[in-house]
């Protein structure tokens, strides 16, 4: 019996250390940001120019059963300050797609057989490239790009970056859930991309606005073509390159969900993806351990991190147990959570580029409840792709009027 109690005690301490690690790292990264000066505007000066040329970009847009957002996105590309690009729009299962635009850089592709897969749509676009491009960028159909997007992105490839995650901002922040969705993204963009770029280690990628060498993407292998696109891609890319860059000045806009039921469905899909691709996360973490590569280790731990609401639930359970088993741990949790909450608020206050973010923080309990509901419906993600429906049709000129200066 004593052996069992000893084992349980060690497991309890280990669980506290692991969960506390994920609450402590954000505080550490925030501190490092200010200790190093937070010189985001001068980051590129650290990297010498290796290629004195304008890179040829292939922008791939994956549209599925919805053509409403193609025209605004094409419009935002036609207003780019940088002209060396070709935009490939894969209109998958879109019967009413407009086939032609009066510009040779805009290519509309309509697969004869429905693909119903983002990965398959990307491969379809590559198979139909008009020429061998230097690099490719992946977008969703509801995205918009800032007029200086490609011009700024080019600077990173000129400095030798082979993979660059660009900066996603919210296209809409009109509802409570859209603001909450944006707040989460602001928080993780700062910790997982901005600060890591400042520290010279790999940034986390997204499923959109990710730019990489075409030759590098051709090396990527997928075991399946459904769901978890960004996790599969990140796990392999981080093991192939020295550093995944983050272009904070190359801005792409993405639509945030505005209704609770849509938000719940989206989170259900994300939670399912976390568990379904846990092995990809572990492989990256283990590769970092074997090579003693700090960037890969930290990125791997990021991928292994459970969704925040699950971490909070774990913390509450550990805190309650600590009150009876080890009161000093309960006190430590109170101190850690105070600094974590303060850190969270400071990040949102200092990193928001759009209006209304701070005011939305009072609705975080509503977010937690919605995500618990999402967890309870995780089995539905095995039977249904749970596509997120978007509604906000807006053009880039109108969107830029609402940006903070």
Say if residue 113's pLDDT is above 70.
Answer: yes
pLDDT at 168 over 80: yes
pTM for the whole structure: 0.88
| Per-residue pLDDT tens over the stretch 278-293 | 888 888 888 889 888 8
Q: Encode pLDDT of 120-144 as tens digits.
A: 999 999 999 999 999 999 999 899 9
pLDDT digits (tens, 9 = 90+) for 215-266: 999 988 776 555 567 788 888 899 999 999 999 999 999 987 766 666 667 7
Q: Mean pLDDT across the stretch 141-159? A: 96
Confidence bin at 95 (pLDDT 50/70/90): confident
Rounded-to-integer distance, Cα 249 and Cα 197, Å: 12
pLDDT digits (tens, 9 = 90+) for 6-18: 888 899 999 999 9
- Give me the sign of the Cα torsion angle 249, 85, 80, 231: negative
Q: What average pLDDT does range 78-105 have in this prediction?
A: 86
91 φ/ψ sector (left φ>0, alpha ψ -120 to 50, else beta): beta
How far lies 227's CA from each of 118, 119, 208, 279, 297, in Å? 8, 9, 14, 14, 24
Instruction: Give the 3-state DSSP-derived string for the chain, with helices as H, strands as E and coil as C.
Output: CHHHHHHHHHHHHHHHHHHHHHHHHHHHHHHHHHHCCCCHHHHHHHCCCCCCCCCCEEEEEEEECCCCCHHHHHHHHHCCCCCCEEEEEEEECCCCCCCCCCCCCEEEECCCCCCCCHHHHHHHHHHCCCCCCCEEEEEECCCEECCCHHHHHHHHHHCCCCEEEEEEEECCCCCHHHHHHHHHHHHHHHHHHHHHHHHCCCCCCCCCCEEEEHHHHCCCCCCCCCCCHHHHHHHHHHHHCCCCEEEEEEEEEECCCCCHHHHHHHHHHHHHHHHHCHHHHHHHHHHHHHHCCHHHHHHHHHHHCCCHHHHHHHHHHHHHHHHHHCHHHHHHHHHHHHHHHHHHHHHHHHHCCCCCCHHHHHHHHHHHHHHHHHHHCCCHHHHCCCCCCCCCCCCHHHHHHCCCC
Beta bridge partners of 254: 170
Q: What does the block give as tokens for 386? A: 């749970």
Sorted by where each starts, the structural domains of the chain and their CATH numbers stand as: 11-399 (3.90.550.10)
Task: Residue 99: count other Cβ atoms within 10 Å of its Cβ.
Answer: 8
Whether the pLDDT of residue 313 is over 60: the answer is: yes
**Paired tokens of 113:** 């057989």
């Amino acid at each position: 019996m004593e052996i069992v109690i000893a084992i349980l005690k060690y497991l309890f301490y280990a669980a506290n250390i692991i969960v506390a690690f994920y609450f402590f790292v954000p505080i550490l990264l925030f501190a490092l940001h200010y200790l190093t000066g937070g010189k985001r505007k001068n980051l590129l000066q650290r990297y010498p120019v290796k290629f004195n040329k304008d890179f040829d970009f292939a922008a791939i847009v994956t549209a599925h059963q919805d053509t409403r957002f193609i025209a605004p996105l094409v419009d935002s590309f036609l207003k780019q300050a940088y002209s060396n690009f070709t935009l490939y729009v894969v209109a998958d299962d879109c019967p009413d797609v407009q086939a032609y635009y009066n510009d040779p850089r805009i290519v509309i592709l309509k697969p004869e057989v429905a693909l119903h897969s983002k990965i398959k749509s990307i491969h379809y676009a590559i198979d139909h490239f008009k020429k061998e491009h230097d690099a490719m960028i992946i977008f969703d159909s509801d995205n918009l790009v800032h007029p200086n997007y490609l011009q700024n992105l080019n600077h990173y490839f000129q400095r030798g970056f082979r993979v660059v995650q660009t900066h996603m901002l919210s296209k809409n922040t009109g509802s409570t859930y859209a603001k909450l969705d944006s707040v989460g993204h602001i928080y993780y963009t700062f910790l997982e991309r901005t600060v890591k770029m400042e520290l010279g280690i790999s940034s986390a990628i997204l499923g959109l606005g990710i730019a990489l060498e075409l030759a590098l993407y051709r090396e990527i292998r997928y075991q399946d073509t459904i769901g978890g696109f960004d996790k599969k891609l990140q796990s392999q890319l981080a093991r192939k390159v020295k550093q995944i860059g983050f272009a904070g000045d190359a801005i792409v806009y993405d639509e945030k969900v505005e209704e609770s039921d849509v938000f719940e469905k989206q989170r259900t899909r994300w939670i399912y993806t976390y568990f379904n691709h846990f092995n990809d996360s572990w492989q990256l973490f283990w590769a970092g351990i074997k090579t003693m590569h700090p960037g890969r280790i930290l990125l791997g731990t990021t991928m292994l991190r459970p969704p925040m609401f699950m971490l909070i639930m774990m913390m509450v359970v550990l805190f309650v147990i600590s009150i009876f088993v080890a009161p000093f741990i309960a006190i430590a949790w109170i101190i850690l959570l105070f600094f974590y909450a303060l850190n969270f608020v400071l990040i949102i206050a200092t990193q928001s580029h759009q209006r209304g973010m701070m005011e939305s923080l009072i609705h975080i309990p509503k977010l937690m409840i919605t995500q618990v509901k999402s967890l309870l419906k995780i089995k539905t993600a095995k039977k249904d792709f749970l596509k997120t429906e978007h509604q906000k049709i807006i053009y880039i000129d109108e969107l830029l009027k609402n940006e903070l200066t």
